[in-house]
Structure 1
Amino acid sequence: MKNLNINNQNHLNNTDLSHAPRMLRLKVVMDLTALGSTTIYDMLDKKSKRYDPTFPIQVKLSKGRVAWVESEVVKWLETKIAARAH
């Protein structure tokens, strides 16, 4: 088992992860957007008055665990900033 862990670590060391999508937990999305969890989930709910089809959809990673793609959240924020009245 120890050899397997060493092999996995060597593989990670030799893998270029610079292009790997960074996944964000809800708390980080909340911090970045200044939105609460209820607002975020309302923005994803087509039945909600606060529904926003432009808000990034979360990725289901496993049962009970979701995350957002960082680049999609950043792009959404940049769109909001660009759309503000000057």
Structure 2
Amino acid sequence: MENLNVTTNNTLAQPAAIQLPRMLPLKDVVYYTGLSSTTIYDMLDKKSNRYDPTFPIQVKLSKGRVAWVESEIAEWLQARIAARYH
């Protein structure tokens, strides 16, 4: 079996495929976290008493359109689950 990561005299090594992050719209963040959209935006607002600096910041995709990186939401949720034991 041929190893595709090895460079030979006649062929060049193939670059690794780029893994695109999955982006979640607000409605999916609401669904997965169980938080309301108001609470999510309050958690992002430094002036709010609900501000949470650990909550993932949204990515501006275009004018009027934002989304969250799925893996960052998953990591935040895992940290919240782990924190209940401390």
Q: Deviations over 1:45-73 (max 9, x none)?
A: 00000000000000000000000000000
SS of 1:66's partner is: strand
Secondary structure of 2:79's match?
Answer: helix
Q: Give aligned pairs, total.
A: 70
- Structure-1-length-normalised TM-score: 0.78
- CA RMSD of the aligned region, Å? 1.2
Structure 1: distance between partners of 2:85 and 2:24: 29
- Counting aligned pairs with the same residue, the percent is 73
1:61 equivalenced with 2:61 (yes/no): yes
Name the structure 2 match of 1:11: none
Instruction: Give the C-alpha shift of residue 85 in structure 1.
Output: 3.1
- Is the radius of gyration larger for structure 1 or structure 2? 2
Whole-angstrom distance in 2 between the partners of 1:74 and 1:85: 18
Partner of 1:74: 74
3-state SS, counterpart of residue 32 of structure 2 = helix
Amino acid at match of 1:21: P
| Aligned counterparts of 1:74 and 1:20: Cα–Cα separation in 2 | 16
Other-structure match for 1:44: 44
Give structure 1 regions of 4+ aligned residues with deviation exceeding 2 angstroms. none
Deviation for aligned residue 1:30: 0.2
